Amino acid sequence: MTATLETFSKELEAVTTTAALRELRSKYTGKKGILTEQLKKLPALAPHERAAFGKQINDDKVYIEERLKEYEKQLISKEIKAKLSSAPLDITLPGCYKKPGGRHPVTIVLAEITDIFVSMGFTIEEGPEVESDYYNFEALNIPRNHPARDMQDTFYIETTDDGQSGDNSFVLRTHTSPVQIRVMQDRRPPLRFIAPGKVYRCDSDISHSPMFHQVEGLVVDRNISFSNLKGLLEGFLKKVFGPEVPVRLRPSFFPFTEPSAEVDMGCYFCKGSGCRVCKGTGWIEIMGAGMVDPRVFRNVGYDTDTYSGFAFGMGIERIASLKYGIDDIRLYYEGDLRFLRQF
């Protein structure tokens, strides 16, 4: 037995793990291992010595590899046995799994509203959330100093260098009604669209959020009447809340519609007998609506002798709250998974 094999055998006896065995293997047969180093001496030998020297190294290598292989087998089965007899695997432990995500209630209700209007031939339009004073107020017949501006506590965006809101001031839109103006400026009647989106008001409590969602609607054509408005909105509400729901229109005021109406539906919770949600009246205010004011048509250059139209606007959170019985609007935006997982 060569000296190399003697040291190898001793070292092998000291090995107790497969990891240590791997190290030993590379120490002897690896690229920079002992046998490879020995082979490098070959060219320096006299030609007649080379064959025997080379054969010796090769025999050593075969021997080492065989012993390693055999010993490795023993170690592996020893290690498996040790693993199996130590702490058993508890296959009853719950696994780590990802709970599936879900749609936000506002998204669900918005999709439902959109589907209903699309099925009635409406298109969907959008407008910017940062809106000019002109589109948000002026063109909708809400001039400066008009008391109606107080109805919608506005977030103004300062646009001038001196920090003053200039004449061309911008706002976070307080409603989706400015989309009416933008679409009418771009297109001629007939028009039949809804415009869903985010709106902003300086307001925050149990029933008001500084950001919420509205859906605006506008229909303009020849011979559009108030009865068309009533029929459409009744049909819509019955699709959302069921065919039995009573709907009524109450006279109201909006600067951009004349006449204007508030649309009420029978209270979803008490079915009209009076409860906390409807404040005992049996009715719930669900949206604003009206015939487009001729001044608004004039602002976009529509001929008021030829065309008439109606508009409506509703809050999406409000509809979702009624559908799902949610009594605090802030729940929508707190991102609490216990709330969100219920839909």
Task: Supply the minimum distance, in Å, between the C-beta of residue 91 and ligand DAH.
Answer: 58
Between helices 47-85 and 18-29, what is the axis angle to 10°? 170
* Candidates 45-53, 81-89, 267-275, 287-295; binding stretch for ligand DAH (CB under 6 A): 287-295
Is there a contact between 321 and 278 (Cβ–Cβ < 8 Å)?
A: no
49 marked among binding-site residues:
no
Binding segment for ligand DAH (CB under 6 A), chosen from 14-22, 50-58, 164-172, 286-294, is 286-294
DSSP H helices in 96-255: 105-119, 133-136, 178-186, 226-241
Round to whole Å and give the CA distance between 119 and 192.
12
Kindly state whether residue 288 participates in binding ligand DAH, applying the rule CB under 6 A. Answer: yes
Contact call for residues 172 and 155 (beta carbons, < 8 A): yes
Helix 316-324 to helix 226-241 angle (10° resolution) is 40
Give the interface segment with ligand DAH, choosing from 6-14, 56-64, 203-211, 285-293 (CB under 6 A): 285-293
Which residues inside 203-232 make contact with ligand DAH, applying CB under 6 A? 216
Mask for 22-61, x = binds ligand DAH (CB under 6 A): ----------------------------------------
In the complex, minimum distance from the CB of residue 316 to ligand DAH, in angstroms, rounded to a whole number: 12
Instruction: Supply φ then ψ for residue 142, to 5 degrees.
Output: -115, 80
313 scored as a contact of ligand DAH (CB under 6 A): yes
175 binds ligand DAH (CB under 6 A): yes
What the block records as the tokens of 337 is 């998974």
Q: Based on the shown chain and the rule CB under 6 A, indicate whether residue 177 belongs to the binding site for ligand DAH.
A: yes
The reply on whether position 289 binds ligand DAH by CB under 6 A is: yes
Tokens of 214: 């509205």
**Half-sphere exposure of 124 toward its Cβ, with a 13 Å CA cutoff?**
12
DSSP-derived letter for residue 287 is E
- What is the contact surface with ligand DAH in residues (CB under 6 A)? 175, 177, 216, 254, 257, 288-290, 311-313
